[in-house]
Amino acid sequence: MYEILTIKSKNEFELIDITDKVREFVKRNVKNGIVIVFTKHTTTALIINENEHGLLQDIKETLFKLIPKRGNYKHDYIDNNAHSHLKSIILNTCLVIPIINNEMVLGTWQRIFLVELDGPRERKIIVKGIEEK
Amino acid sequence: MYEILTIKSKNEFELIDITDKVREFVKRNVKNGIVIVFTKHTTTALIINENEHGLLQDIKETLFKLIPKRGNYKHDYIDNNAHSHLKSIILNTCLVIPIINNEMVLGTWQRIFLVELDGPRERKIIVKGIEEK
Amino acid sequence: MYEILTIKSKNEFELIDITDKVREFVKRNVKNGIVIVFTKHTTTALIINENEHGLLQDIKETLFKLIPKRGNYKHDYIDNNAHSHLKSIILNTCLVIPIINNEMVLGTWQRIFLVELDGPRERKIIVKGIEEK
């Protein structure tokens, strides 16, 4: 019981709201239990927060302030995207969300985002349900 | 098999130890498996760490140093709490803890905290058990 | 269905790749479901990222830049390792990884690391499988 979401990002940095895709999976597949959302990449992340235009810009600016694009990184001699990896490690690779009656128990303002940190690229997200006994 | 904890915070920033409440749920509901702790809010977080008075102050100061309360944030034109959202995204929305014989396998110093980032408010935390087969 | 990994770190800061140990557990124990990796310590963390020598140094430098070893921390009057606790809270205590046909669905570059933040020490990591119905 799982699904692979294929998400094409369009920008180097992007916050892509995947809530509806996860909700669809849950509706069809899990009555009571949990859903795991897992990104298969080392230069993306997953977060849950509010989808408000200004906030999405604040998230971008905060991440670039905490971890600048250029920083004398050693990995940049290999692949020139050290900052993308470093941002991903202070965010999440996986999320787990409770499900009650085929619905995720998200709060009013909670939305699930794929954080693209080294786009544009095609990304694969695993959505897996665990039904409770 | 779940419970909703209602937690009333008293301060703008607060670290609230909810370990005993989660332990009670586990004792009554899950023999072997996992417990998921999930906050339904975009201006709170969940962490596991030590409940030592000095450390709790260090956590507060570190979070405010990394993400200051005022920072020319665009979301502040809408709701004046951008910093609370931004702090929450570098922490966690959900925790998953293994359970063996009706006990969480927490280490000696590990305690579960709700991190209030925009209080005082009433908050809802979902505690959900998954029993293994 | 669980295993306790005992990991002896050799340095104060260390990124220890535990992917193969988790993979072995999964191969023997879980056909389809999830694996939970949980560290029992408040001065370690778990991350998923690429095992590239330069990047591992970048991760160390970034963590020490964000949260310096000395910072007038109050917990240092008790235990002199406040920075280790503080680094752990912006990383993860637990990871959840989907399993399909006895294999974790990790991407090409994804490796699981124990982050030692206050070594050298002996550390205990819980690896727990949940088989889906």
C45-54 mean pLDDT? 98
Q: Provide the 10 A C-beta neighbour count for residue A124.
A: 15
pLDDT reported for residue A65: 98
C1, C79, C85 ranked by CB distance to B132: nearest: C1
Residues of B with CB under 8 A from a CB of A: 1-2, 36, 38-42, 66-67, 71, 73-79, 82, 85-86, 88-90, 92-94, 96, 124, 126, 128-131, 133
> Is pLDDT of C80 > 90?
yes
Q: Is B89 close to A59, i.e. CB distance below 8 A?
A: yes
Q: How much is the pLDDT for A21?
A: 98
Q: Which residues of chain B have pLDDT under 70?
A: none
Chain B: nearest CA to C93, how far in angstroms?
A: 7
Sort out which chain A residues have CB atoms less than 8 A from C34's CB and list them: 36, 128, 130
E strands of C1-133, at which residues? 2-8, 14-17, 33-39, 44-49, 94-100, 103-104, 111-116, 122-131
**Neighbour tally for C90: CB within 10 Å:** 22
Q: What is the mean pLDDT of residues C40-48?
A: 98
pLDDT confidence of residue C114: 99
How far does C109 lie from chain A, in Å, by closest CA? 7
Say what the ipTM of the complex is: 0.97
Contact B111, B51 (CB under 8 A): yes
Q: Which residues contact B29 (CB under 8 A, 6 or more apart)?
A: B1, B3, B129
What is the reported pLDDT for B79?
A: 95
Q: Residue C77 is nearest to which of B54, B95, B133, comparing CB atoms?
A: B54
What's the CA gap between A36 and B12, in Å, rounded? 31
Structural domain total, chain C: 1
Whether pTM > 0.90 for this model: the answer is: yes
Q: If you measure CA to CA, which chain C residue comes closest to B50?
A: C42
**Token pair 């954080």 in the structure block, residue:** A115
Contact C54 A36 (CB under 8 A): no
* Residues A128, C98: C-beta atoms closer than 8 Å: yes
Chains touching chain B through at least 3 C-beta pairs below 8 angstroms are A, C
Of B67, B79, B94, the CB nearest to A62: B67
Find the CB nearest B58 among C36, C40, C74.
C74
B120 CA to chain C: closest CA distance, Å?
Answer: 22
Asked if residue A133 has pLDDT above 90, the reply is no
CA of C128, closest CA in chain A: separation in Å? Answer: 15
Helix (H) / strand (E) containing C118: none
Would you state the pLDDT for residue A23? 98
What local confidence, expressed as pLDDT, does residue B100 receive?
98
Does pLDDT of A120 surpass 90? yes
Q: Is residue C133 over pLDDT 90?
A: no
Could C34 and A128 be called an inter-chain contact, meaning their C-beta atoms sit closer than 8 Å?
Answer: yes
> Are C21 and C99 within 8 A, CB to CB?
no
Domain presence at residue B127 = yes
Give C91-119 pLDDT, tens digit per residue: 999 999 999 999 999 999 999 999 999 99
C58 to chain A, minimum CA–CA distance in Å? 6
Q: From chain B, pick out residues whose CB is under 8 angstroms from the CB of A97.
A: 38, 94
Here the CATH number for the domain that contains residue B97 is 2.60.120.460
Q: What is the pLDDT of residue B133?
A: 79
- Residue C110 CA to residue A43 CA, distance in Å, equals 10
With cut-offs at 50, 70 and 90, classify the pLDDT of residue C34: very high
CB contact under 8 A, C98 and A126: yes
Residue B73 lies in a domain: no
Owning domain of residue A111? 2-69+78-131
Which residues make Cβ contacts (< 8 Å) with residue B68, sequence separation at least 6?
Answer: B83
